[in-house]
């Protein structure tokens, strides 16, 4: 082989090796990108966002989560759970004039028609019908203003403390504000209700004809995250490819839009027993879907759940400084788990156990006496109360007044013992009276015999 041919062959081999190395690098980079679910605030278009564990409430991600913002129709999550808890689903609602003509999305309610609470709930949650929301609110409380007071009271009881709701649907109002954190708390509460969960995942629903509306109303869910509903097969650019808006892991919940609120979405998803709730406020266009997917996928694939304690697991034994050295067994009030990014483990957490210094008897079973907390740096990520495993009575304690007893007093003065004692005393009295009577009769007979003998 000539030197020139050898040189050309070496160049070809070199180029081929470079090409192979380049392809390998691209493959490795792509693979690393596929597994990388890390998330920062700048990755989201939404101005406010949060991701929490649906079961424990642990916060996994935040972005301006406590800034009050317009929630649009995500408001209807709160309206729905109040109605579900307080009204009979089969209750009939007669539509009145003041329930007609509400702005925005509606099912065109007309005065005189009769619908059930269940039908109005489906209309409100599935197609975001504002007229259905007002009809339900007025049925519940009489006026929108009165229902708004109920909304704020119930929201606070769910942990939503920085909200002010003015109406049941989220139509623009300068004082109708909430936060992504508060919406997450409301959604977490609502997702514990089976009726709520069933309605928000109903793809299609029919409202039958009535005396006023002579045709069936066919409702198709507006949440395009639900696979199979109109628009769910539309594509969005996500993680380097085009994917459908429909996402089979989603279990809810509700979208919202106004020109001031922009695109809002409260979502939920479950995989292998792990469930998360996401909230985004003031996103734009299809970024509502992309932002939500980023949050949900971070929870599902970018974190690992570690089970720390089971329900009722013994954690410690507290020995009291008393004569009997009473030992109180402390167990977990509930299960304890923590979600951590894939680059962290439980070893990176700081565990703190706190038990009351002064515990006095009696102690009731289930009484809270301490807690176990886990911190990541200075951030509390998970905790559970420690409770008494049993009841420990005060009379078990040996005091100065009872120091002569080495064992607790037997329960002598109970009903059974008292009855037995009474019976024994009664029988003893009867026996004594019988003996005494017989003795007197014997003495009397002897006296009579002696008297007869003396008179002879």
| Distance (Å, whole) CA 285 – CA 264 | 10
Q: DSSP labels for 44-101? A: -SSSEEEEEETTT--EEEEESTTS-B--GGGGHHHHHHHHHHHS-TT-EEE--GGGS-
In a domain, 33, yes or no: no
* Cα separation values, 74 from 102, 104, 199, 331, Å: 17, 14, 15, 39
Please check whether residues 215 and 283 belong to one and the same domain: yes
Domain with residue 322: its CATH number is 2.60.410.10
In a domain, 330, yes or no: yes
Q: Tell me the residue range of the domain where 371 lies.
A: 307-402
Q: Is 290 helix (H, G, I), strand (E, B) or coil?
A: helix
Domain with residue 241: its CATH number is 3.40.710.10
Give the containing element (helix H, strand E) for 289.
Answer: helix 287-301
Please check whether residues 111 and 77 belong to one and the same domain: yes
* Cα separation values, 147 from 76, 91, 124, 446, Å: 13, 18, 16, 101
Nearest to 338 by CA among 93, 60, 136: 60
Strand partners of residue 392: 363
In a domain, 408, yes or no: no
The tens-digit pLDDT sequence of the chain (456 residues) is 565 655 666 666 666 665 555 544 544 444 444 568 999 999 999 999 999 999 999 999 999 999 999 999 999 999 999 999 999 999 999 999 999 999 999 999 999 999 999 999 999 999 999 999 999 999 999 999 999 999 999 999 999 999 999 999 999 999 999 999 999 999 999 999 999 999 999 999 999 999 999 999 999 999 999 999 999 999 999 999 999 999 999 999 999 999 999 999 999 999 999 999 999 999 999 999 999 999 999 999 999 999 999 999 999 999 998 888 899 999 999 999 999 999 999 999 999 999 998 899 999 999 999 999 999 999 999 999 999 999 998 654 444 444 444 444 455 566 777 777 788 877 877 787 788 777 777 777 776 666 666 665
User: Which of 402, 433, 449 is the last residue before a domain boundary?
Assistant: 402
52 phi/psi in degrees, rounded to 5: -130, 160
CA angle at 185 for the pair 171 and 180, rounded to the nearest 5°: 55
């Amino acid at each position: 082989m000539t030197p020139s041919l050898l040189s050309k062959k070496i160049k070809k081999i070199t180029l081929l090796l470079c090409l192979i190395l380049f392809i390998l690098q691209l493959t490795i980079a792509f693979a690393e990108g596929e597994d990388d679910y890390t998330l920062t605030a700048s990755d989201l278009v939404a101005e406010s966002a949060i991701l929490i564990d649906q079961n424990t409430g642990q916060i996994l991600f935040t972005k301006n989560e406590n800034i009050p913002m317009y929630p649009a129709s995500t408001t209807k999550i709160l309206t729905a759970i109040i109605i579900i808890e307080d009204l009979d689903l089969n209750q009939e609602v007669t539509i009145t004039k003041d329930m007609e003509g509400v702005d925005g999305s509606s099912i065109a309610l007309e005065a005189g028609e009769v619908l059930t609470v269940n039908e109005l709930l489906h209309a409100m949650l599935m197609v975001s019908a504002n007229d259905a929301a007002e009809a339900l609110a007025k049925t519940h409380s009489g006026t929108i203003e009165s229902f708004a007071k109920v909304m704020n009271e119930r929201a606070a009881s769910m942990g939503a403390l920085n909200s002010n709701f003015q109406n049941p649907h989220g139509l623009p109002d300068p004082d109708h504000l909430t936060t992504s954190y508060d919406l997450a708390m409301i959604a977490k509460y609502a997702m514990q209700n089976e009726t709520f969960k069933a309605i928000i995942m109903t793809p299609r629903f029919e409202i039958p004809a009535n005396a006023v509306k002579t045709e069936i109303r066919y409702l198709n869910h507006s949440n395009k995250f639900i696979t199979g509903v109109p628009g769910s097969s539309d594509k969005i650019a996500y993680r380097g490819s085009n994917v459908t808006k429909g996402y089979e892991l989603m279990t809810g919940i509700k979208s919202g839009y106004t020109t001031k609120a922009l695109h809002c979405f409260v979502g939920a998803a479950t995989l292998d027993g792990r469930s998360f709730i996401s909230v985004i406020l003031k996103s734009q266009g299809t970024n509502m879907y992309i932002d939500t997917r980023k949050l949900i996928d971070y929870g599902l694939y970018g974190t690992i759940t570690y089970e720390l304690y089971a329900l009722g697991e013994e954690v410690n034994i507290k020995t009291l400084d008393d004569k009997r050295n009473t030992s109180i067994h402390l167990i977990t009030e509930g299960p304890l788990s923590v979600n951590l990014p894939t680059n962290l483990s439980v070893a990176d957490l700081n565990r703190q156990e706190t038990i009351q210094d002064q515990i006095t008897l009696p102690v009731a079973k289930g009484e809270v006496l301490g807690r176990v907390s886990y911190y990541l740096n200075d951030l509390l990520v998970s905790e559970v109360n420690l409770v008494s495993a049993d009841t420990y009575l005060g009379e078990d304690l040996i005091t100065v007044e009872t120091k002569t007893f080495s064992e607790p007093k037997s329960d002598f003065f109970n009903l059974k013992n008292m009855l037995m004692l009474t019976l024994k005393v009664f029988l003893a009295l009867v026996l004594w009276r019988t003996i005494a009577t017989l003795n007197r009769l014997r003495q009397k007979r002897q006296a009579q015999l002696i008297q007869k003998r003396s008179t002879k």
